[in-house]
Amino acid sequence: MKRAHVQVDGVVQSVGFRPFVYRTAVDLGLRGCVRNLGDAGVSVTLEGPGDRIDAFLRELETNPPPLATVERVTVDTEPVTEYSYESFSIVDSEDRGAGGGTVPPDTAVCEACLADIRDPSSRFHDYWATACVDCGPRFTVIEELPYDRETTSMAAFPLCSDCADAYASPSDRRYHAQAIACPSCGPQLAFQPHDRSVDPPAVGERTGIDPLPQRSSLVEGDGQSLDAAARTLDEGGIVAVKGIGGAHLACDATRPDAVSTLRDRTGRPAKPFAVMVPSMDDVATVASASSTEREWLRSARRPIVVLDQRGDALASNLAPGLHTVGVMLPYSGVHHLLFDRVDDPIVVTSANRPGLPMQSSNRAIVEQLWDVADGSLLHTRRIVQRCDDSVVRAVGGSRTLLRRSRGHAPLPVAAPTADDADVLAVGPERDVTAAVLSGDECYLTQHVGTVTDRETFRFLQAAIDHLLALTGTERPSVTAHDAHPSFRTTEYAADRTADRTVAVQHHHAHAASVLMEHDCPRAVCITADGVGYGPDGTVWGGEVLDATLTDADRVAGLAPVPMPGGDRATEFPVRSLVGLLYDREGVDIQALVDALDWSPPNADEPRVIEQQLEADVNTPVTTSAGRFLDAVAALADICHERTYEGEPAMRLEAAATDGTPRDVTVPYTTADGRPVVDTPRVAELLVELRRDGTHATDVAATAQRILADGLADLAVDAAAERGIDAVGFTGGVAYNDAISRRIRQRVRDAGLAYLDNDAVPPGDGGVAYGQAGVAAATVRDGGVDS
Partner 1 sequence: LEQGAGGKAMRDLVSEVLTAGLPDDSLDIGREAMDDGAVVPIGDRNVVFTTDSHVVHPPFFPGGDIGRLAVSGTVNDLAVMGATDVRALSSAVVVEAGYAESDLERIADSMARTCREADAAIVTGDTKVMGHGDLDGIVVNTTGVGVADHVVGDDGLSPDDVLVSTGEVGRHGVALLAEREGIDFGTTVESDVRPINGVVDRALSVAGADITAMKDPTRMGLAGAASEMATKGGVGIELRQDRIPVPSDVKGASEMLGLNPLQIANEGIALLGVRPTAAADVLAALRSHPDGQDAAAIGKAIDDEHGRVLLDTGLGTRYLREPATEPAPRIC
Q: Specify which residues 11 forms β-bridges with.
A: 69
Q: For residues 513 and 757, is the Cβ–Cβ distance under 8 A?
A: yes
> HSE of 395 in the Cβ direction (CA atoms, 13 Å)?
27
Each residue 338-357 as x (binds partner 1 by CB under 8 A) or -, in order, gives ---------------xxxx-
Question: Residue 566's binding partner, choosing from partner 1, Fe ion, Mg ion, none, with beta-carbon cut-off 5 to 8 A by kind?
Answer: partner 1
What's the 3-state SS for 370-386?
CCCCCEEEEECCCCCCC
Total interface residues for partner 1 by CB under 8 A:
47
- Please, what is the minimum distance in Å from the beta carbon of residue 135 to Fe ion? 35
- Please, what is the minimum distance in Å from the beta carbon of residue 354 to partner 1? 4
Question: Residue 398's binding partner, choosing from Zn ion, Mg ion, Fe ion, none, with beta-carbon cut-off 5 to 8 A by kind?
Answer: Mg ion
From 3, 18, 381, 403, the catalytic residue: 18
Q: For residues 636 and 517, is the Cβ–Cβ distance under 8 A?
A: no
In sequence order, the 6+-apart residues with CB closer than 8 A to the CB of 699 are: 632, 635, 636, 659, 686, 689, 690
Rg (CA), the chain: 28
Question: Residue 182's binding partner, choosing from Zn ion, Mg ion, Fe ion, none, with beta-carbon cut-off 5 to 8 A by kind?
Answer: Zn ion
Which lies closer to Fe ion via its Cβ, residue 422 or residue 764? 764
- Please, what is the minimum distance in Å from the beta carbon of residue 273 to Mg ion? 24
- Please, what is the minimum distance in Å from the beta carbon of residue 113 to Zn ion? 3
Determine if 429 is a binding residue for Fe ion (CB under 5 A): no
User: CA–CA separation, 706 vs 704, rounded Å?
Assistant: 5
User: CA–CA separation, 46 vs 204, rounded Å?
Assistant: 52
Binders of Fe ion among 747-766, rule CB under 5 A? Answer: 764
Quickly list DSSP for 302-362.
--EEEEEE-SS-S-TTSSTT-SEEEEE---SHHHHHHHTT--S-EEEEE---TTSPPP-SH
Which lies closer to Zn ion via its Cβ, residue 156 or residue 160? 160
User: CA–CA separation, 656 vs 705, rounded Å?
Assistant: 10
Determine if 249 is a binding residue for Zn ion (CB under 5 A): no
Which lies closer to Zn ion via its Cβ, residue 110 or residue 714? 110
Which lies closer to partner 1 via its Cβ, residue 99 or residue 600? 600
Q: What are phi and psi of 506, to 5 degrees?
A: -55, -50
Task: Give the other-Cβ count within 10 Å of 53's Cβ.
Answer: 23
Binders of Zn ion among 535-574, rule CB under 5 A? Answer: none
User: CA–CA separation, 588 vs 687, rounded Å?
Assistant: 11
Each residue 99-128 as x (binds Zn ion by CB under 5 A) or -, in order, gives -----------x--x---------------
Determine if 513 is a binding residue for Mg ion (CB under 5 A): no
Determine if 400 is a binding residue for Mg ion (CB under 5 A): yes
Q: What are phi and psi of 698, to 5 degrees?
A: -70, -40
Determine if 532 is a binding residue for partner 1 (CB under 8 A): yes
651 is a catalytic site residue: no
Determine if 497 is a binding residue for partner 1 (CB under 8 A): no
Question: Residue 764's binding partner, choosing from partner 1, Mg ion, Fe ion, none, with beta-carbon cut-off 5 to 8 A by kind?
Answer: Fe ion
- Give the 3-state secondary structure of residue 572: coil
CB-based contacts of 48-52 (< 8 A; 24+ apart in sequence) = 48/1, 48/2, 49/1, 49/2, 50/1, 50/2, 50/77, 52/28
Instruction: Tell me which residue has its CB nearest to Fe ion.
Output: 529
Task: Out of 454, 475, 691, 722, point to the residue binding partner 1 (CB under 8 A).
Answer: 454
* Contacting range for partner 1; rule: CB under 8 A; set: 33-41, 405-413, 479-487, 699-707: 479-487
Task: Give the other-Cβ count within 10 Å of 288's Cβ.
Answer: 12
- Please, what is the minimum distance in Å from the beta carbon of residue 543 to Fe ion? 10
In sequence order, the 6+-apart residues with CB closer than 8 A to the CB of 688 are: none
Question: Residue 542's binding partner, choosing from Fe ion, Mg ion, partner 1, none, with beta-carbon cut-off 5 to 8 A by kind?
Answer: none
Quickly list DSSP for 215-255.
-TT-EESHHHHHHHHHHHHHTT--EEEE-SSSEEEEEETT-
- Please, what is the minimum distance in Å from the beta carbon of residue 466 to Fe ion? 25
Q: Specify which residues 73 forms β-bridges with.
A: 8
User: CA–CA separation, 210 vs 222, rounded Å?
Assistant: 16
Task: Out of 163, 394, 650, 718, point to the residue binding Zn ion (CB under 5 A).
Answer: 163
In sequence order, the 6+-apart residues with CB closer than 8 A to the CB of 376 are: 191, 192, 194, 239, 240, 241, 242, 247, 362, 365, 366, 369
- Give the 3-state secondary structure of residue 289: coil
Task: Out of 70, 98, 156, 160, point to the residue binding Zn ion (CB under 5 A).
Answer: 160
Binders of Mg ion among 741-760, rule CB under 5 A? Answer: 756
Binders of Fe ion among 501-530, rule CB under 5 A? Answer: 529
- Please, what is the minimum distance in Å from the beta carbon of residue 431 to Fe ion? 8
Question: Residue 400's binding partner, choosing from Zn ion, Mg ion, partner 1, none, with beta-carbon cut-off 5 to 8 A by kind?
Answer: Mg ion
Determine if 620 is a binding residue for partner 1 (CB under 8 A): yes
| CA angle (670 as vertex; 665, 674 as ends), nearest 5 | 115
Task: Out of 161, 197, 602, 665, point to the residue binding partner 1 (CB under 8 A).
Answer: 602
Determine if 736 is a binding residue for Mg ion (CB under 5 A): no
In sequence order, the 6+-apart residues with CB closer than 8 A to the CB of 585 are: none
Task: Out of 4, 33, 132, 437, point to the residue binding Zn ion (CB under 5 A).
Answer: 132
Question: Residue 132's binding partner, choosing from Zn ion, Mg ion, Fe ion, none, with beta-carbon cut-off 5 to 8 A by kind?
Answer: Zn ion
Task: Out of 162, 234, 605, 725, point to the residue binding partner 1 (CB under 8 A).
Answer: 605
* Cα separation values, 332 from 138, 201, 385, 656, Å: 13, 27, 16, 37
Helical axes 679-691 vs 696-722, angle rounded to 10°: 150
Task: Out of 157, 339, 370, 457, point to the residue binding partner 1 (CB under 8 A).
Answer: 457
Determine if 611 is a binding residue for Mg ion (CB under 5 A): no
Determine if 267 is a binding residue for partner 1 (CB under 8 A): yes
From 31, 35, 36, 382, the catalytic residue: 36
Binders of partner 1 among 395-414, rule CB under 8 A? Answer: none
Determine if 429 is a binding residue for partner 1 (CB under 8 A): yes
Q: For residues 773 and 516, is the Cβ–Cβ distance under 8 A?
A: yes
Which is it for strands 239-242 and 375-379: parallel, antiparallel or unpaired? parallel
36 is a catalytic site residue: yes
Using CB under 5 A, list all residues that contact Mg ion: 398, 400, 756
Residue ranges binding Fe ion (CB under 5 A): 529, 764
Query: Which residues are at the interface with Zn ion (CB under 5 A)?
Result: 110, 113, 132, 134-135, 160, 163, 182, 185
Catalytic residues: 18, 36
- What is the binding site for partner 1 (CB under 8 A)? 267, 353-356, 428-429, 452-455, 457, 484-486, 488, 506, 530-533, 538-539, 563-569, 601-605, 607-609, 611-612, 614-615, 617-620, 622
